[in-house]
Structure 1
Amino acid sequence: MKRTNISSSSPWEEKVGYSRAVKVGRTIEVSGTVSTDNSGEVVGLNNAYLQTKFILLKLENTLKQLGAELSHVVRTRIYVTDISKWEEVGKAHAEMFLEIKPATTMVEVSKLIDPKFMVEIEATAIMKE
């Protein structure tokens, strides 16, 4: 099967050895994504809703690069540093996925790679034949 790797040019990709997303056949796996813009600045500092919304827009853009769309997402995994913010995170997730309703998990973690990040999301998409 053909494999396509997508890079975001994040400095972490080379340090850790991973891709932003990998497509094999009809399946796309999107790596954990945080709320940074193209210059590496955090979007939505101290705002879980804005960070989540920006992450999901980045995820949508990554899928489009591979010929997919949000409707192909079957699973999201949401990591938050403060589970008490679940409603803010959930609101942004619902705005993007209310009709799609992928399987999802939201868990609290002790910290992410940068203390400015409140949310990290990864996703699995399966394209139609």
Structure 2
Amino acid sequence: MSQSRDEAATAPAALTVLQPPGWRKPKGYANGMAGRGTLVLTGGLIGWDENEEFPEGFVPQVEQALRNVVAVVAEAGGEVEHIARLTWYVRSVEGYRRSLAEMGAIYRNVMGRHYPAMALVEVSDLVEPKALVEIEATAIVPDT
């Protein structure tokens, strides 16, 4: 039986959040993650669907890109809670900031309350002309 994203986020973790003593807890990401198992590295996944069609707008593309990350990790037998790192490449950091409230709900819908280590980088262009975001992931799927 498949777990909901919130149930998966509260399941025993294969990853350990790395939080140095005395540091403020970050909101929406982790400073670092550690784990043992099969390392899964995705390519840069953009916000198109299986037919290579893009939804209109930044937030819908983020949602699809995250779904694409989850699908690739699932191919290795992994779940959302095995994602240790996300690197986001966006065309506009300002557009990202303006979308934070709307994006939070979308993120939780796809990723639950799992917040891996993350980085965000503004880029001048992406290979696909319609792409507004590209996300790379690193996951550690526990050995069974």
* TM-score higher than 0.5: yes
Residues 17-76 of structure 1, C-alpha deviations (whole Å, 9 max, x = no match): xxxxxxxx611001100112222222x22x111000011111111111111011000100
Q: CA RMSD in A?
A: 1.8
Instruction: Find the counterpart in structure 2 of residue 37 from structure 1.
Output: 49
Normalised TM-score (structure 2)? 0.64
Aligned partners of 2:76 and 2:141 also within 8 Å? no
User: What's the CA shift for 1:85?
Assistant: 1.7
Instruction: Find the counterpart in structure 2 of residue 14 from structure 1.
Output: none
Letter in 2 for 1:31: G
Aligned partners of 2:84 and 2:116 also within 8 Å? yes
| Structure 1: runs of 5 or more not aligned | 1-24
| 1:127 and 2:103 are equivalent in the alignment | no
Letter in 2 for 1:51: Q
More contact order relative to length (CA 8 Å, sep ≥ 6) = 2
Normalised TM-score (structure 1)? 0.71
Identity %: 28
| 1:68 and 2:110 are equivalent in the alignment | no
- Structure 1 ranges of 4+ moved more than 4 A: none
Task: Report how many aligned residue pairs link the two structures.
Answer: 103
The structure number with the bigger radius of gyration is 2
Letter in 2 for 1:26: T
| 1:114 and 2:124 are equivalent in the alignment | no
